[in-house]
Every structure is written in structure tokens, then in C-alpha cells.
Amino acid sequence: MPVDSRPWGPTLSDAEVAERVDALMAEMTVAEKAGQLTQYFYFRLPAPPSEEIEETLHVDFAQQPEMVEAALGEGRVGSLLFVTDPAEVNRLQRLAVEGNRHGIPVLFGFDVIHGLRTILPVPIAMAASWDPSVIERGQAVAAREARAVGIHWAFAPMVDIARDPRWGRIVEGAGEDPYLGSAVAVAQVRGFQGERLGSPDRIIAGPKHFAGYGAALGGRDYDEVNLSDAELWNVYLPPFQAAVDAGAGNVMTAYMDLNGVPATGNRWLFTDVLRDTFGFDGFVVSDAQAVHNLRTHGFAADLTDAAARAVTAGVDLEMAITDPAYAHLPESVESGLVGEEVLDASVRRILTAKVRMGLLDRPYVDEDRARAVLADPAHRAVARTAAQRSAVLLRNEGDLLPLTSPGSVAVIGPLADSRRDTLGPWVFDYDSTETVTVLAGIRERAGGEVGYAPGIRPAQRVFPSMFDMWGDNAPVDPADFDDAAELDRAVSLARESDVAVVVVGEWQNMIGEAASRSSLELPGGQLALLQAVAGTGTPVVLLVMNGRPLDLRWAAENVPAILDIWYPGSQGGAAVADLLFGDVAPGGKLPFTWPRTVGQVPMIYSHTISHEPDNQRRRYWDEQSTPLFPFGHGLSYGRFEYGDPTLDRSSIRAGETVTVSVTVTNVGPRAGDEVAQLFIHQRYGTASRPVRELKGFRRLTLAAGESQTLRFPLGPDELRYWNAATKDWVIDTTTIDVFVGGDSTAGQSVSFTIGS
Ligand code: BGC
């Protein structure tokens, strides 16, 4: 096919883009402008959803596609979401282009969370790699596949800090820490967008949900959030700022009330913080139905009021399933409730994105090319590497792993052979047949005899998930399953085998949006199964398939090897086999503190010293108040020792930078990966600061006996913090302790002073 080399959106200067936008806007009516600010879901479901789901979402799914097509034909739509078939994209795009006088195409958005066809490990797993380069490569693959089918924009990354694992969406983010969260956010924005907005094979990144969504009361998704200014500025906002600094073209609002004001109607968030303080110049989209729901919240009087308040708060585009509030904007402009300049500012942002992405020049996609891109084997290779690098070796007593001469292997547990669960939540366009389960991966690699027994039936949610309306989302409860006989079969298999690989966790519909939990226990009969298998005396390797910490107290004392594999994606089973048999060494680290029990949550490593720090381990009278595994924990097949950290100077002034050096040596007999982590603690100042705060990290691979010296700068960005007393950023005159090591309990320390 000849390459079209004429200038188009991505190659235009900013002035040329503005000129095209101005020309369009000069011709547009207020109604046409309001249409550009409306985004619709377009659903074609595999089967009609249950009445319960329709009622909860207030949607008549049978009517939905027809209603959207009518709106497209009348120029009332600026963007669509949830269309992933390139032929459908082209068909709907044609309706849009022909449906408005100016031929303006729609922007297609989608939840490209961890892959489109090639499924990467879930985001919390990618964060556990502590490897920004693998994260960037992964999202570049996701972007390439999405762009090929006609998607221009990902509703990702989710950069919400999550400190309460009852909240199911912890799986979509980077965990509890703002420093790690910022690094992961930047890597994802770069992966999605490339060098600049409009880069070939890339899409717009949309960090979400602005802001504070992860702090839902009781971990209950959508419930209110109350956060102090200090928590917002020091913990919850930094990953957004990092994503904006990295050039993210979009930001999504959040559903919940933040300190008593619904986030989607919060002008302070979108105008004062996002635009004026962070300098964001992209467009803001509401979360689904969130403008409409300003009325439901008891905030807006009606839909007219909801639209007026959202658009003046700075929300440019309304994401709607039905009945968009922004359809009322023309009447508000007419009545003077909303100034036309407010509307224009939003329309300008949407059109700028469209021009920049090249939509006006090339609105349609090449369906043959899409097929070829989706089948690219290089994408599977990236997914396999990502799954290898995100696994976290939690325990490895007696160096049970790697299995160098395993003999016969028993693979046990229903999750071990579930393709859908291997992929994790938030995927829709995966190819099931090419998904490698843990069982398939081990069978392919082990060589020797590999037996399989599920042992128990899959566990079920008490309340179904809205995602269950997508075909195979909920696990099937087999009708002819003989519980007693199946348990016996699993135990006998373990008894006859040289090693038992037991897979436990949560089924993927138990984690994600609207998947909060009141407990962290292994659902169903999994603990009993594990105990029965361990009772045979056959050594057990436990694989955990999860997106949040689970109650592994029993396993942490009784099972020699525990590998957290998360939901590892399309190539998950192959990667797990690579790790188990020692073809590669694990090296991921926990991006959250792993509590012992749900009663301890929220639990973070970066708490303040407090009154009576000596009894901090004994805050509860019935359970230790330490975690089961600390933030940053993870083992490898190497063993690492840290030399004493040194400084290039022992004293700085505020604004200056000190460099910390440390040498890491692999003193074990095998090669391995380590993530060196640097934490600071401020001894005194104008506020009390956390016992530890992550301020640097580096993942490295070291051969047996190999050393590497690392350098970490500590400058104003690392040393400043937002102070609740002065209500501003400060760098105190103080002494800073620096700790470097393999997790957040790192002991090696050195100190420097900050003078005035
Ligand atoms: C979620 C968003 C998502 C959107 C579109 C909402 O329910 O909160 O994260 O991007 O749906 O699917």
C-alpha cells in the first residue's frame, strides 16, 4: 500500500492545529458544540444482561445501540466507547462523519487497561515489576493493538493510590506508594502515547480517577472519600502530577464525593489544581454517568444544573450510557446559565485532540492491517517477559525453588487451569484459545509427568458482578462435581507426586470495579484444599493468583515456597513455568504492605512514628500489628547484600542535591534480580514525617558473585513535602536518615543535614 506522506494531524505545528480548530468552531452552532462534548457507550453484548444489572445501571441495553446510532446520525456525539471491532469502528465512524455538517469524526475510547488482544499482567502486577521499561513496552504493545482497530484513547493508567485492599480496584493501580505510583504512571503514559500525542501506533493516555478514589470509606467502591489536604498533596495527587508532566492528553474524573463535594462537580480539582497548578492542557472526561449522577448524589438539582456545574468545574466531555446531561447545555447557554466561552474552551480541547490524532485526515482504519497487528508474535513475547518480571517470590524456605529436578509434578486447584482467570479483570477482546494457563505452561515445560486435579469447585460471589454480562466472566459451578471424591483425588495425586504446585487466589470477577470485599480470606474451600495437600508431606509450591493481598497466615508458616503470580495474562502459564524451573529468576517486589488479616487495614509502611513507637508491633492485643510481608518485599534466586551507603556530601542547603551511593552484591550461588530501594526519614521539622518514604529504586540483574554500585540523587523533589501547618510546600532545616536495602525494613543507613 502506498504511504500517504501529506501533512496531517500528527505532523502539524501547534499553530496549524489551532487554525484548523478555529476554522471548525467558527462554523459550529451551540447544539453542534454540545454534541462534541458528549461521549456514548456503544454496547453490543454477547447476551442480554440480567434485569438486576439493567436496573442498577438504569439502562435498557436492547435499545442502547439504536439510540446511539440515531444520535450519531444527528451530529450529537463527539466520542464513543466500547467498540473494538475495526469493521464496526468504520461503520460507526461513517455514521458520525456523515451525520454532522462539518464531517467531524468521533474519538474512540476504550478501557485498554492491560492489553487489548495480547493481555499483559494486571496493572498491580506490572507495578510489582518495579521496572518502568517493561511497563512502558507493555503499554506500547497495548497502544499498537488498540490503534490498529481504531481506538484513539485509553482510559488508563489508573493512578489512584490504594491503601485499603478491600477496595477491588487496587488491582488496577500501582499500590500504596506515591513515589512508585508516579514512576509507574509516567512509564504508562509514555508507553501509550510515545514521544508526543499523535505518534504512530500510539494512543492518548487518560490517567484516572481525579482524585482520591482509592480511599473509599471501608474500601467500598463508590463510597465517599475524606482526605486531608496533606494526604491529597503528599500521597494521592503526585501520580497525577507525574502523569500530566509526562504529557498525558486526558484525565478522567472520579465517581465519589471528595470531602463532601462530588469529584465530577469539583471546580477546585479540575480548574485550580489540574489546570492552574499542574498546567494540564488536555481534555477532561467524566467517569461513566458521573455528570448525570451529580443529581443522584444530591448535589445538582436536575440534569441542567448537573451539566452546568460539571462543565464550569472543568469537565469537558461527558461519558454517558443514556440520557446525557450535556444535552441540556444549549438551553443553559441560551438562558445565560453557562457562558458560551465555557463551552468553547471545552470544544476546543476536544477538537484539538481530534486534529492532533489525525482523525480529520484519516478517520477510518485498515481492517487487514488490524488483523495482522493483533496477531503479532512480538506482542506475546512482551507479555511473557512482563509476567516473568512481575511475579513476586514471597517465601522460599530451603531453596525449594527453582525446581531443578522436579520429578513428577501435581498441579492442584481450579485456578490452575482457568484461562479466563489467568487473564484477570478488565479485558474483553482477549483470545481465549491462545491463553496459557499455569497447568498448560507447566505441562509444556516440565518434561516429566504432570498430573492435574482441581480439588474443589470454583468459589462464587454472593452478589453478582456487572461484568458478568460479558459471556464467560463468572466461573461456572460444575453441576456434576463430586466434592468429596475430587478432594480425595487431589490429595492422592499430591501424595504420589514429588512436588505439588497448588494455585489459590480470587476468581477474577472477585477483583476490580465493584468488587470490594469484607474479608481477605481465600474464597471457597481453598485453604482446606491447601492444608490437605500440605498434609501429605509432599513439598508444596504455592502460587497465588490475586490482585490484592490475601490472608496467607497459614501458608506463610507452613508452605515452603510462595510465588505471587497475580493475574499474569495471555502468556501467564508460560512465564510461571519459566520461573518455577529456573529459566529466569523472579525479582518483583510488593507494591503494597501485605497485612496479616483484614482487621489491620489500612496498613502502610510510611506511617509516622507516633506516641510510643516501641509498642508499635503490639497495637492490637490479639494480633501483631506488623504486616505479613512488608512493602517492597520479594526474594529471588540470588541473595543480595548491601554495602554501607555513602554520600557525596554530608550537608546541603534547601534546594541542593546530595547523591547516595551503595554497592549491591549477589552473594548467592545463582543469578538473580534485585530491586534496590532507597527510603528517607526526616528526624524533626515543621511537621512529623513518616518513618520511611520511598525516594529511589533500581531493578538490577546480578550474576552469582557480581556487584554493582548504584547512585541515587536526593534533591528538592525528593525532600520537599506539603505542610499542613503552613499549607504550602516546605523543605525543612533538619537531619535526614537514608536507608537502602531490598524492602521497606532496610537497615543500612546514613544521614545528612539540610541547613538554612
Ligand atoms: C470506570 C472507569 C471506566 C469507565 C468506562 C467506569 O465504571 O470507573 O474506570 O474507564 O467505566 O468503562
> Using CA positions, which residue lies closest to atom 6 of ligand 1?
288
Q: Is the CB of 513 under 6 A from ligand 1?
A: yes
If you measure from the C-alpha of residue 481 to the centroid of ligand 1, how many angstroms do you get, rounded to a whole number?
36
Lowest mean pLDDT across 227-236, 458-467, 519-528, 638-647? 458-467
In this structure, what C-alpha cell is assigned to residue 409? 509434578
Residue 83 Cα to ligand 1 midpoint, Å, equals 14
* 426-438 pLDDT tens trace: 999 999 999 999 9
* C-alpha cell belonging to residue 511: 477483583
Mutate to test the pocket of ligand 1, among 59, 110, 222, 252 (most ligand atoms within 8 A of CB): 252
Q: Are 422 and 438 in contact (CB under 8 A)?
A: yes
Cell numbers given for 198:
499523535
Quote the DSSP letter at residue 253.
B
Nearest CA to ligand 1 atom 12: 111
- The CA 208 to ligand 1 mean position distance, Å, reads 9
Cα 123 to averaged position of ligand 1 atoms, centre (Å):
15
**Which numbered atom of ligand 1 lies nearest the CA of 172?**
9
SS3 per residue for 708-744: EEEEEEECHHHHCEEECCCCEEECCCEEEEEEEECCC
pLDDT band at 37 (very low <50, low <70, confident <90, very high): very high
Which of the four pLDDT bands, split at 50, 70 and 90, describes residue 653? very high
Cβ of 578 below 6 Å from ligand 1 = no
Name the closest-CA residue to atom 11, ligand 1.
288
Check if 208 has its Cβ closer than 6 Å to any atom of ligand 1: yes
Give the pLDDT score at 447.
81
CA-nearest residue, atom 10 of ligand 1: 155
Q: Which atom of ligand 1 is nearest to the CA of 155?
A: 10
Grid coordinates of 146: 488498540
CB 414 within 8 A of CB 437: no
User: 297: how many CB neighbours lie within 10 A of its CB?
Assistant: 17
Per-residue model confidence (pLDDT) at position 48 = 74
The answer, yes or no, to whether residue 450 has pLDDT greater than 90, is: yes
Give the residue, 613 or 531, on which the prediction is more confident.
531
Which of 40, 111, 251, 426 to probe ligand 1 with, by most ligand atoms within 8 A of CB?
Answer: 111
Q: In 3D, which of 242, 180, 222 has the Cα closest to residue 593? A: 180
Residues noted as catalytic: 287
Q: What is the pLDDT of residues 71-91, one digit of tens each?
A: 999 999 999 999 999 999 999
Residue 503 CA, chain-centre distance (Å), reads 23
Indicate if the pLDDT at residue 470 is higher than 80: no
The preferred substitution site among 40, 43, 155 for testing ligand 1, maximizing ligand atoms within 8 Å of CB, is 155
Residue closest via CA to ligand 1's atom 7 equals: 288
**Span 214-229, average pLDDT:** 98
pLDDT tens digits along 166-180: 999 999 999 999 999
According to DSSP, residue 449 is labeled: -
Query: Who contacts 488 (Cβ-Cβ below 8 Å, separation ≥6)?
Result: none
Atom of ligand 1 nearest to the CA of 208: 9
* pLDDT value of residue 465: 87
- The CA-atom distances, in angstroms, between 488 and each of 491, 499, 522, 530 are 5, 17, 20, 12
- What pLDDT sits at residue 117? 98
Distance of CA 225 to CAs 39, 267, 722, Å? Answer: 26, 17, 20
Q: Is residue 471 very low, low, confident or very high in pLDDT (cuts 50, 70, 90)?
A: confident
Task: Determine which residue's CA is closest to atom 4 belonging to ligand 1.
Answer: 288
* CA 646 – ligand 1 centroid, Å: 46
Does ligand 1 lie within 6 Å of residue 171's CB atom?
no
Q: Whole-angstrom distance between the N-terminal and C-terminal Cα of the chain? A: 65
Tell me what pLDDT residue 63 has.
87
Residue 164 Cβ < 6 Å to ligand 1: no
- What residues are paired with 672 via a beta bridge? 702
Pairing relation of β-strands 658-666 and 646-647? Answer: antiparallel
Q: Is the pLDDT of residue 2 over 60?
A: no
| Residue spans of alpha helices (H) in 424-551 | 438-446, 483-496, 526-534
Local structure of 627: helix, strand or coil: coil
155 lines ligand 1 (CB under 6 A): yes
pLDDT of 3 over the 70 cut: no
- Ligand 1 neighbourhood includes 288 CB (under 6 angstroms): yes
Ligand 1 centre from 602 Cα, in Å?
Answer: 24
The residue behind cell 469529584 is 263
Q: Whose CA is closest to 435, among 569, 547, 314?
A: 569
The residues facing 500 across adjacent strands are 410, 540
288 CA distance to ligand 1 centroid (A)?
6
Q: Say which residue the cell 510510611 belongs to.
A: 606
Nearest CA to ligand 1 atom 8: 287
511 CA distance to ligand 1 middle (Å): 14
Total residues found in the chain within this entry: 756
**At 196, phi and psi to the nearest 5?**
-155, 165
Q: How far is the CA of 739 from the centre of ligand 1 (A)?
A: 39
Q: Is 525 helix (H, G, I), strand (E, B) or coil?
A: coil
Mean pLDDT of the chain: 96
For 602-617, how does the pLDDT look when each residue is reduced to its tens digit (9 = 90+)? 999 999 999 989 888 8
pLDDT of residue 478: 92
Ligand 1 centroid to residue 111 C-alpha, Å: 7
* Short-list 592, 487, 567, 577, CA closest to 541: 577
Indicate if the pLDDT at residue 666 is higher than 80: yes
Q: Could you give the CA distance from residue 422 to residue 415 in angstroms, rounded to a whole number?
A: 8
* 107-111, 477-481, 662-666, range with the lowest pLDDT: 477-481
Q: Is the pLDDT of residue 1 over 60?
A: no
Q: Is 221 in the pocket of ligand 1 (CB under 6 A)?
A: no
State CA 214 to chain mean position distance: 11
User: Residue 635 carries which side chain, given as an amino acid letter?
Assistant: L
Q: Ligand 1 within 6 A of 486 CB?
A: no
What is the DSSP-derived secondary structure letter of residue 47? S
Q: Which of 151, 319, 427, 466 to mutate to test the pocket of ligand 1 (most atoms within 8 A of CB)?
A: 319
287 lines ligand 1 (CB under 6 A): yes
- CA count, 13 A, side-chain hemisphere, 421: 29
DSSP symbol at 317: B
Q: Is the dihedral of CA 259, 161, 426, 562 positive or negative?
A: negative
> What digits encode the pLDDT tens for the residues 272-317?
999 999 999 999 999 999 999 999 999 999 999 999 999 999 999 9
